[in-house]
Structure 1
């Protein structure tokens, strides 16, 4: 064979090999692209997919609570802070009327409330989407018809009112915090134009002669109404429910405190009753029952579904889905002076201080942690109350609908269905807990007007406000 022929054959072979390698590379690259797209789709479902999953888990008859209401006329103004003086006056009159009437919806269908039946109190602001899903979860709970469901509002919103008054699966009541920012937009407890700016130094404030110049908080900042309102509202609704409402004034059962961005398991009332009975027999010093947890993973399998932990009450761990009765409330109210004067705008951190330095440790049978604390919590390890809120006072995100979070919670509960409704609880007791050093408050509560308002709420005294 000639040399030129050998070279030609070699070139042909190398060309064929190169083409083959290129084709293999392209095929591999294409396969990887398709794989990555599929993987991404599985890990990050689209909003449509998440919504479809969510709605498929909701019984058809409950979809009405999830639907938008398009025929409200005054909703935009009510929640935007653009109310006129006549509109504010009308809202105040409506609030006074409803608080005075104390109407219990659906009482004719479900009869009078039993003295020891659970009462559920939901603190509501403006997050309608979350509230819809909470109501759907409550509607699916076993024995919900035995309860009284109280919605406590700090904003008058026609859409929210319409939704609440559409609830037909139990007794329902609405109460309205009367000293809100909405009804006092330019005067205390709202933002008075003569109030000191938050970050101004006291020396400057005194020269400026702003209203509260003498009373910054312990960090040198002046009050912000949007933060102080939450503590006022929580304290007002507790006083209102335990001591002022005719339907609950002599109530002896548990009062369960929820918020608009919570979600409950179908057996939460069953577990609450079980915890209440367990306290009487095995932990007389347990005086706060906690159904929620801030853990990101949940385990309902084996015996975890019936495990409860006994531990000193800690504000950042045991404030979700917490319940207590009149005995505990009486102890808390005796410490109202400390609660109202403690320089912290958080109601739960204020309760933490009360528990550590005002309420004496109670005596009773049953193993409890060796700690000097007036509040002892019994907390479910497998939660029956979940936090679904992605946005709130302290957190803002681009997407506040939390569709994926709600779908996750629903799927968790669906997979755990066979492990719900335990017949008894297994208590685990925290070991000896060292006494915590009393910490400084978070501030935001240095203004004497806030402290006076809080104290007048305790006394049920009509504070003269503009």
Structure 2
């Protein structure tokens, strides 16, 4: 082979090899880490000038990023490394049940609107949720309960800096953070997710006899969300002193939600309609997953329809009466082989003896929005939070003339065939009897976990 031609061939192979190496590095970077899913990139984003321009200057303090901590904003970020210290801090805070700003805004009443916010580690989104809450009318008449499954002083300091209403923090005590090498985290002897049944039995790994309905074994990072939601609801309705006689609505939000300034006003309108015209409507929903929004047509429109988990799980609310109905069927929630709390609630709704499914009143013009482009279920590589947030801000600015309607009008629908189809099986991820047992015991104060032999 001529020397020139040979050199060209070598050069081609070198280029191809370098390209393959680059692809491998990119794939490794995108898939590594238990919770990364873009969180590091998303949390490192500066708040854009476009976003700040639509935020009142006095609220910029909630968006302040301390640069010395920016590189440590993911689940792996630096912080207290001593698990015993974290567990003691969690117990101390949960026992204290401190209500911040109670001296300014007064005690919790039985009809106080409680806003329960489930928090993981996405600090950037949480900042913007807090900013949106701060701008809501009548927010000073509510109480915010932040429920955390990750103990972090930067997040705690942000939450405790809130000065516009009453605030409480509760901490999920069975988290992966505090149990990194044992259940409910990932035990060293847990069965690999994709292990075959016969292989798992031979390995005598934990719970080898109980894969999920798809033949897979548990993944702690997925089961935690359902555990956390169930623990949080039990804690609020059954265990806190300030809510022991509470009969008002509890609104469920997550760290990557964003609220409109009239969301509390709309909640009152929905509740009044339910009280007067729709006693069978047990759930109120302030958010929908619409792609387009027409507030000039829909700002004062609501829909009454069967509740469906994937459509009506954002910014939804119910009271103690509904919670008591859920508690009557708690075994169905805890035993259902689905790692999603909302699908488990849908299964419970569809199997209430002698009763119809939950009905919901929902806003046709949503007042709660999802801004999370990155997280456990979202794999987008471009995780610039400011892009989505600025779109929501501009949408709400344009919709402002149509907010605060004096009344709402309802249409009644039966829901689409797809959303009325009865669940025959779950999405899996919840076959491990340890998860089912932990879930069941969360309804009991002073939980004593039973001991099992999980392998053959």
Q: Are positions 1:341 and 2:335 aligned together? A: yes
Instruction: Name 1:408's counterpart in structure 2.
Output: 391
Task: Give the conservation status (yes or no) of the 8 Å contact 1:79–1:157.
Answer: no
Select the residue among 205, 211, 215 that pairs with 2:206.
211
Instruction: Name 2:63's counterpart in structure 1.
Output: 66
Describe the superposition over 1:438-458 as per-residue Cα deviations: whole angstroms up to 9, x where unpaired. Answer: 321000000000000000002
Q: Are positions 1:332 and 2:317 aligned together? A: no
Q: Provide the C-alpha distance between the structure 2 equivalents of 1:421 and 1:99, rounded to a whole number of angstroms.
A: 37
Residues 80 and 402 of structure 1: CA distance in aligned 2, closer, same or farther (over 3 Å): same
1:113 CA drift (Å): 1.7
Task: Give the conservation status (yes or no) of the 8 Å contact 2:74–2:122.
Answer: no
Residues 379 and 77 of structure 1: CA distance in aligned 2, closer, same or farther (over 3 Å): closer
Select the residue among 370, 377, 391 that pairs with 2:360.
377
Select the residue among 349, 352, 356 that pairs with 1:355.
349
Describe the superposition over 1:292-314 as per-residue Cα deviations: whole angstroms up to 9, x where unpaired. Answer: 01111111104x10100000000
Q: Which has the larger radius of gyration?
A: 1
Instruction: Name 1:133's counterpart in structure 2.
Output: 128
Instruction: Name 1:445's counterpart in structure 2.
Output: 430
Instruction: Name 1:391's counterpart in structure 2.
Output: 374
Task: Give the conservation status (yes or no) of the 8 Å contact 1:77–1:83.
Answer: no
Instruction: Name 1:30's counterpart in structure 2.
Output: none
Query: SS at 2:82's partner residue?
Result: helix
Task: Give the conservation status (yes or no) of the 8 Å contact 2:73–2:123.
Answer: no
Query: SS at 1:216's partner residue?
Result: coil
Task: Give the conservation status (yes or no) of the 8 Å contact 1:130–1:401.
Answer: no
Kindly report which structure 2 residues correspond to 1:60-459, keeping only aligned pairs within 5 A, or say none.
60-70=57-67, 76=72, 79-80=75-76, 87-302=82-297, 304-358=298-352, 360-361=354-355, 372-373=356-357, 375-431=358-414, 436-459=421-444
1:394 CA drift (Å): 1.5
Residues 87 and 350 of structure 1: CA distance in aligned 2, closer, same or farther (over 3 Å): same
Task: Give the conservation status (yes or no) of the 8 Å contact 2:47–2:63.
Answer: no
Mark the runs of 5 or more structure 1 residues left unpaired by the alignment: 1-46, 362-371
Q: Provide the C-alpha distance between the structure 2 equivalents of 1:191 and 1:268, rounded to a whole number of angstroms.
A: 39
Residues 48 and 132 of structure 1: CA distance in aligned 2, closer, same or farther (over 3 Å): closer
Q: Provide the C-alpha distance between the structure 1 equivalents of 2:384 and 2:450, rounded to a whole number of angstroms.
A: 36
Query: SS at 2:83's partner residue?
Result: helix
Task: Give the conservation status (yes or no) of the 8 Å contact 2:301–2:408.
Answer: yes
Q: Provide the C-alpha distance between the structure 2 equivalents of 1:77 and 1:183, rounded to a whole number of angstroms.
A: 18
Once structures 1 and 2 are overlaid, which stretch shifts more, 106-115 or 148-157?
A: 106-115
1:398 CA drift (Å): 2.6
Residues 113 and 324 of structure 1: CA distance in aligned 2, closer, same or farther (over 3 Å): same
Query: SS at 1:103's partner residue?
Result: coil
Give the TM-score normalised by the residue count of structure 1.
0.83
